[in-house]
Structure 1
Amino acid sequence: MSFLSDHNHASKAIYLLGFCVAFALAGDLTLYAVLPVYTSSRGFDLAAVGLILSANRLVRLPLNPLVGLLLSRMVRRPFLLAGLGLGILSNSIYILAPDEKLFLVGRVLWGIAWSLIYIASYCMILDITTADNRAWGSGALQSFYFLALAFFPLLGGFLSDTLGFNTALLVCVFFAGAGFLLASLLLPETYQNAPPTNNPETWKQYLPQRILPNLKQGWLEMKELLNRTNVSISYLQLLVFMVGEGLFMSTITLFIARHLDISKSFHGIEIKAAAMGGAILALRSILSSGIAPLAGKISDRWKNRWGILAFGNVLGVLGMIWIAGVATSVLFLAGVILAALYSGVTIAILPALIEEANPRQPVGKLMGLLTTFGDIGMAIAPLLAYNLLEKFSLQNIYTVGAVLLSSGLAFIWLGAVGVMTTRNPKNSRSQNRRL
């Protein structure tokens, strides 16, 4: 639709897309906040919780490149609506699931749903933005993600503690349904060169002639990304999503319940672990969203991304140590703040680093590489943490997290060797970006 080329209409479409994405995340973010302390009501053991919270990421690892190939040459809106619809179904299964097996099915469906939603959303943004406002469009969508990350764990924790776990999930179904309705009623198709999809012959010719050859070519070209700098950046991406995101998000509520004294009430209202965990996750998200653009701006001005990355890494190590120590509530909160700053700094700078290190590579391939390593980190963190809880305390696990983060300093040094200053962002590719 040509009207989307107008900046104002494109902005409205991006904001609408942001609300759809944020609403779809309600159930997933609620589970991260409250499931660890509601295992007994469902008969789950802690190892099952780790698998449940990791399943959606494991599904996405092989699915992401396939969805990306499909969406690079087909209409976007049906894929987005399919993802939003699967999100409603997955949230409904959480409510109805009598045991961990059916709950796991819901998580697998959510993994498929989020792959469709996430990649379709970014394809739509690339369709309706130009080189002059593409970063703004991507950042605007990311801001809705951070707002969801701040709001829904808090809301889910509060509703679970006051009205019950299933009621909280029912509210999440409502939000997911609202996102689906918004997209189906108000969001237009953005892909301008889509072939006719109502003709079966189109699909018979389209898949073998375009999708499969591109998949093979893309796989062969991946070898070009194997170098010291890309390995370092990929490891740092894995680290921030495994420790800074996955471990923290999936265990902080359980950590509070086991290691913090929250028995005091506030104006007669008893504060429970799920609500406190939601509040901590909300605080962390707000801090990360605030520091990310600031860190990016400073790194642009100082031309020393590796140095700022190292500074953020040190903050992360200190944060995990202070959280693990639980010496006082003040130190615990300070640790949460430092860990949030680490995540915001790292996630903001790594995409710029990998683009500047590979100026001739398509942005889609580079971001696909980062996304894959991020998903690996998010997938294995809950799985490892909840299985290790059979032998180790959460304090010990967070200490191991601090040690892992400290290893990031070695990879920062490895990546920065021979690259004393990063390339000028003005020299990096700004046009012809594709997923």
Structure 2
Amino acid sequence: MAVPALVIALAQMGDSLIYAVLPLYADAFGVSLFVVGILLSLNRWVRLLANSIVAHFTHRIGVRPMMITAAATATLSTLAYAVATHEIILMGGRVLWGISFAALNLAVLSYAVSDRANAGKRVAVNRTALGVFQVMSLAGGTALVAFVGPRDVFLIIAGFGLLGMLLSLRLPPLDIDDGKATGFTLPKPGRLDLWGFALGLVVDGIFIVTLALLLKDTKLPVPPVVTTGLLLATRWGMEVVTAPVGGVLADRFGARPLALLSGVALIGGLVLIAVGHEFAGSILVVTTRGLFNTLVPVMVAERAKSGLLASQATYSTWRDLGAAVGPVVAGVVFAAVPQAPLYGTCAALLVLGLWWCVARSR
């Protein structure tokens, strides 16, 4: 399992870094904040639509060839951030990454569950590898921006993608059960699915896109882009650290009480940002968001009325939809709406969501 995990982790480094760099250096890429929002959401929209198509072609050509191809196209998407001379090329890179990630994600999960007895351990290895390499990309990549610039740093990151492509050649062949691919449908949401949409909209969308801009004028010992990278790296680090701990606590005390406490802390972080304490608020938001990635799937499993996989897929779809809408909203409203009412509204939305979707058991 180590090779598939490393391939997707190396391939995703460029995507992780673009969230820290692009909002703060939009002028260097020749785009407006509105276009930044579109660029950072485009891959999510593509993923929602591409999953079934990717599954169809994976059935036809096999998991290994698909993962090799996706590793190559992911590297090309990272190169596009460095060499693009027009926003259309950047959009093409984001579309290419959305398709690449859909293929990589399906392939790495296929390798994980091919050994059903150790599927859980293999998925954990995958999440750990992702976390470690995204921390490297965000912390190291943003530090390199000061030396090589916001565009050329992606040439370096593309080198890691090339390494992932070479590693993919070492993957063993793998066949998956044939099945008929279905088109994209938006499943009817339950309460937790709506909470996932709210998290995606506010945290994975509006907050992530505006984080660098929030910290631009904050007096800190390191440049804003490095601070942004470190904060985003903290989220990935929290997933690595809290996944085993949160899982044990959720099994012992139940996921809902922990989710409620985490939700209150997350809302507190948004309130701190609204009243002008951007750095402290951002730390609260990124740490609690990382914990939710462990807790919510457990809650989905506890409340599942139908098949477990179908319930998890529905939650993921609505979370991704929120994360697709959020950057567009941020690009439209951040320049026009002051920080206090924007983040105050986000906090109020999550208060309502926490009560309606999480606190209520029925």
Aligned residue identity for 1:211: K
Which aligned pairs between 1:184-195 and structure 2 lie closer than 5 A?
Answer: 184=169, 186-191=170-175
Which of 161, 166, 171 matches 2:151?
A: 166
Deviations 1:313-370 (A, max 9, x none): 111100111133234xxxx44423322332133221222222233365152x333222
Which of 329, 332, 348 matches 1:387?
A: 332
- Compute the displacement of 1:46 (Å): 0.7
Which of 28, 34, 38 matches 2:15?
A: 28
Q: State the distance in 2 between where 1:275 and 1:175 align.
A: 20
- Compute the displacement of 1:103 (Å): 0.9
Unaligned runs of 5+ in 1: 1-13, 195-209, 265-270, 418-435
Give 2:82's aligned residue.
Answer: 95
TM-score normalised over the length of structure 2:
0.91
Aligned residue identity for 2:211: I
Which of 98, 114, 132 matches 1:111?
A: 98
- Compute the displacement of 1:70 (Å): 5.1
Give 1:254's aligned residue.
Answer: 213
Which aligned pairs between 1:305-384 and structure 2 lie closer than 5 A?
Answer: 305-327=255-277, 332-358=278-304, 360-361=306-307, 363=309, 365-384=310-329
- Compute the displacement of 1:149 (Å): 2.8
Segment of structure 1 superposing worse, 286-295 or 274-283:
286-295
Aligned residue identity for 2:261: F
Q: State the distance in 1 between where 2:358 and 2:234 align.
A: 31
Unaligned runs of 5+ in 2: none
Deviations 1:270-305 (A, max 9, x none): x32111211221223222432233222111112x32
Distance 1:160 1:126, change over 3 A: same
Q: State the distance in 2 between where 1:401 and 1:148 align.
A: 30
Q: State the distance in 2 between where 1:402 and 1:113 align.
A: 34
Identity of aligned residues (%): 24
- Compute the displacement of 1:24 (Å): 0.5
Deviations 1:17-65 (A, max 9, x none): 1211111011111110111111112321110111111111111111123
Structure 1 runs (4+) deviating above 6 angstroms are none
* Rg (Cα) greater in structure: 1
Alignment check: 8 A CA contact 2:256 2:359 kept: no
Alignment check: 8 A CA contact 1:288 1:340 kept: no
Q: State the distance in 2 between where 1:154 and 1:385 align.
A: 24
Deviations 1:387-408 (A, max 9, x none): 1023113444322221222122
Aligned residue identity for 2:326: A
Which of 238, 251, 272 matches 1:287?
A: 238
Over the aligned positions, Cα root-mean-square deviation in angstroms equals 2.4
TM-score normalised over the length of structure 1:
0.77
Corresponding residue pairs, total: 362
Could you say what secondary structure the match of 2:22 adopts? helix
Distance 1:361 1:135, change over 3 A: same
Q: State the distance in 2 between where 1:112 and 1:54 align.
A: 13
Deviations 1:369-395 (A, max 9, x none): 222112112211111111102311344
Give 2:124's aligned residue.
Answer: 139
Aligned residue identity for 2:263: N
Alignment check: 8 A CA contact 2:260 2:359 kept: no
